[in-house]
Amino acid sequence: MQNSPRPVRRLFRAATFRFLRWTRVALAAAVFVVLTLFFLDFAGFVPSQAVWLAKIQLIPSLLAGSFAVFAALVLSTLLFGRLYCSIVCPLGIFQDVAAFLARRFASVSYFFQKRKFAKAQRAEQAAANASDADDSKSKTPVKPPRKPSRDYRYRRNPLVFRAVFLALAVASIPLGLPFLALLEPYGLFGRIAVAVFNPVYSFGNNALEAVAKTFENYTFYRVDASPATWASFGVGVASFLILLVFARRYGRLYCNSICPVGTILGAISRFSFFKIRFDAEKCVGCGLCAKACKSSCVDVEKRRVDASRCVVCFDCLTVCRKDALSFVRNRKVELAPSAAQADANAPQTAAKSNVRPLDALLSSRESERVRREIASFDRGKRDFIALGVAATTVAVARSVFGADETPVSETAKSTESAPPAAPIEAAEPSALDKPADYGQTPFKREHPIAPPGAVSFEHFNKRCVGCWLCVSKCPSKVLKPATLEYGLRGFMQPRVVFSLEHFCNFDCVVCGEVCPAGAILPLKMEEKHLTQMGRVVFIKENCVVYARNENCGACSEHCPTQAVKMVPYGDPEVGLTIPETNVDLCVGCGACESICPALPYLAIYIDGNPVQLKAKPVPKEEVKEVKLDDFGF
């Protein structure tokens, strides 16, 4: 009995595996809860350091040029495999949570279906007993409910899919397509969090507010639960539903066929130091591990785990009753045991477990073929993937960092280098009951407005993964996912949109602070005050002062730099003032645009800068000491 370990050792192993698994679950849960709450929190109760959970995401860190983070992630994958996908990636954890909940829900509903079925059966029985002769009322027989399957099963590695999606993601950057951002998991998670979780969270908050208010408690305040834009809402909800179905039925299918990060890390994890391995001598081929594997990567027939898809969740370790799986140092590719060995073990194990080991069923010729297949398959694939990874890294690095970028402070004064972008919406006349005698001149914005610190459309569009963390965190709610305003490559990337009471707060730098991809650079307050994301345009014919000879000044009143200043206008006896603009001072915050009362077309608006410029600092003035000794009346 040299094969069966001593009982104490077995217990210890089992405890270790359980500990590993629960550690994984606990870490994943912590990351998921904190990051999700960080996305949703509008009151600032989640510490701002939580942003690091976003900044250690693989693609964002790569785009931000945080090579230390990227290197650490590659190193951890080389050591332990795709732990990243289990405990760092919020979308990976989201799928686990979704699958867990969906399965729970399925078993609960199965319980009730069963009861309903039993009741129906009893009723049928009673009816049959009451009138056995009455055949005319032949009822349709009640179908027994199907027990929901909780099992996953092994699937082939969809190499072609993975290669195509990876190529699509990588090629997107030089080709100006949005696929990296759309396929990349962190951005995908963010869009789900903002489009789906955020409204739920806001509704919950508003319900709390309503309850608290009846007790004269004003701790809570209502927030706007409506989506940023309907298009972005659709994108988020669609992503949510698709991933929900994927996760419920196929576990980590997205991670192992679509996700570019999964493919890259999968390639690396083939060489990882620790791996899940079969002990072919102990395995009886019962297949419990394969059924538990959400990555569908445990091939019981071949007694091997596809490391490129394994996310080291340790689920298989804890279900194996034969100690046949372990998380051990990588060795040379282990071949399946010879048929002879398996045969020798077969009688004992089979007798114990009532399951016949698979190898025992294979002829020696068959098992030889399987072994050869494994060996050759692995080598070929390994080379292919290694090549892919190298190419990917180079391509990403070159296209992202090779381009001619200039920081905000050094940008040219002109806006000539504007990339072609779809012209922005012509101003929609706003509907108001009363027709006005001013605001009749329509205007058209030339460019969208990128968030302050975006440097340029070029810089911004290349890096943004569309996670919408800035959209969610912007206290003024001026960031909205674009559709085609930046062109195709900026699909779902945030742009600045002004509306009544919504303009960029002069003393706010939140979007740059939270951006994990370096698409919006973090600005110091002094830098923000001089960052010109757009420029003011004044249309005199639409102005209330011009058209009606009345004072207004709402634009100037709101202007933080007095780039819009009120100057004397018309008859000095009347004492009117009219706006005068100084674009050099303008930062493009949109305060003027947001408050301009002209209808149906505004008299003042901001046009975006394709390359963000440096505004002139406001002229220095002496602080005047006033010492009054008289009231003046």
Partner 1 sequence: MEMTRKDFLKAVAIAGMTTTFSSAAPFSVLAQQGKNAAGADVDLVALMGGEPGQMFEKGIEVLGGMKRFVDRGAKVVIKPNIGWDKKPELAANTNPELIVAMINAAKDCGAKEIVVFDNTCDNWRKCYENSGIEEAAKKAGAIVMPANEERHYREVSLPKAKVLKKTQIHQAILDCDVWFNVPVLKNHGGAKMTIAMKNLMGIVRDRQAFHRLGLDQAIADIGTYEKPACLNVVDAYRAMKSNGPRGRNEADVVTPKCLFMSTDPVAVDVAAIRTFNQFQKMPLENVRYVAMAEELNLGVADLSKLNVERVRM
Sites of contact with partner 1 (CB under 8 A):
216, 218, 221-222, 436, 475-476, 500-501, 505-508, 544, 548, 550-554, 556-562, 565-566, 575, 577, 595, 597, 599, 618, 620-626, 628, 630-633
Least distance in angstroms from the C-beta of 23 to partner 1: 39
Smaller CB separation from partner 1, 186 or 438: 438
- Residue 496 forms beta bridges with which residues? 479
Q: Do residues 325 and 279 touch, judged by C-beta distance below 8 A?
A: yes
Smaller CB separation from partner 1, 406 or 562: 562
Smaller CB separation from partner 1, 347 or 575: 575
Least distance in angstroms from the C-beta of 577 to partner 1: 7
> Which residues contact residue 460 at a Cβ distance below 8 angstroms, ignoring those fewer than 6 apart?
450, 451, 454, 490, 493, 519, 520
Smaller CB separation from partner 1, 228 or 268: 228
Residue type, 234: G
- Residue 466 forms beta bridges with which residues? none
> Which residues contact residue 83 at a Cβ distance below 8 angstroms, ignoring those fewer than 6 apart?
24, 76, 77, 311, 312
Buried/exposed 544-568: b ≥16 CB within 10 Å, e otherwise: bbbbeeeebbbbbebbbbebbbbee
* Structure tokens given for 371: 């072994």
Smaller CB separation from partner 1, 25 or 497: 497
Residue 88 exposure: Cα atoms within 13 Å on the Cβ side: 28
- DSSP per-residue string spanning 103-120: HHHHHHHHHHHHHHHHHH
Give the whole-angstrom CA distance, residue 419 versus residue 2: 72
Smaller CB separation from partner 1, 173 or 510: 510
Q: Do residues 87 and 33 touch, judged by C-beta distance below 8 A?
A: no
> Which residues contact residue 61 at a Cβ distance below 8 angstroms, ignoring those fewer than 6 apart?
55, 69, 70, 73, 516
Give the whole-angstrom CA distance, residue 329 versus residue 21: 18
**Chain centre to alpha carbon of residue 195:** 11
- DSSP per-residue string spanning 197-212: IHHHHHHHHHHHHHHH
Smaller CB separation from partner 1, 416 or 630: 630
Least distance in angstroms from the C-beta of 25 to partner 1: 36
Least distance in angstroms from the C-beta of 502 to partner 1: 9
Residue type, 206: N
Least distance in angstroms from the C-beta of 290 to partner 1: 53
Least distance in angstroms from the C-beta of 552 to partner 1: 5
Give the whole-angstrom CA distance, residue 189 versus residue 184: 9
Smaller CB separation from partner 1, 162 or 502: 502
Smaller CB separation from partner 1, 351 or 628: 628
Distances (CA, A) of 256 to 1, 241, 252, 294, 470: 40, 18, 6, 10, 29
Give the whole-angstrom CA distance, residue 521 versus residue 69: 17
Smaller CB separation from partner 1, 349 or 532: 532
Least distance in angstroms from the C-beta of 557 to partner 1: 5
Least distance in angstroms from the C-beta of 218 to partner 1: 6
Give the whole-angstrom CA distance, residue 81 versus residue 60: 20
> Which residues contact residue 337 at a Cβ distance below 8 angstroms, ignoring those fewer than 6 apart?
280, 281, 303, 359
Least distance in angstroms from the C-beta of 204 to partner 1: 18
Output phi, psi for 109, to 5 deg. -70, -30
Least distance in angstroms from the C-beta of 227 to partner 1: 18
Which residue do the tokens 């650490």 mark? 72
Smaller CB separation from partner 1, 410 or 621: 621
Smaller CB separation from partner 1, 337 or 494: 494
Smaller CB separation from partner 1, 188 or 504: 504
Distances (CA, A) of 403 to 314, 410, 515, 533, 614: 43, 16, 20, 21, 21
* Structure tokens given for 53: 């959970």
Least distance in angstroms from the C-beta of 439 to partner 1: 9
Q: Do residues 82 and 311 touch, judged by C-beta distance below 8 A?
A: yes
Least distance in angstroms from the C-beta of 506 to partner 1: 8
Q: Do residues 551 and 572 touch, judged by C-beta distance below 8 A?
A: no
Least distance in angstroms from the C-beta of 546 to partner 1: 13
Smaller CB separation from partner 1, 53 or 554: 554
Least distance in angstroms from the C-beta of 523 to partner 1: 17
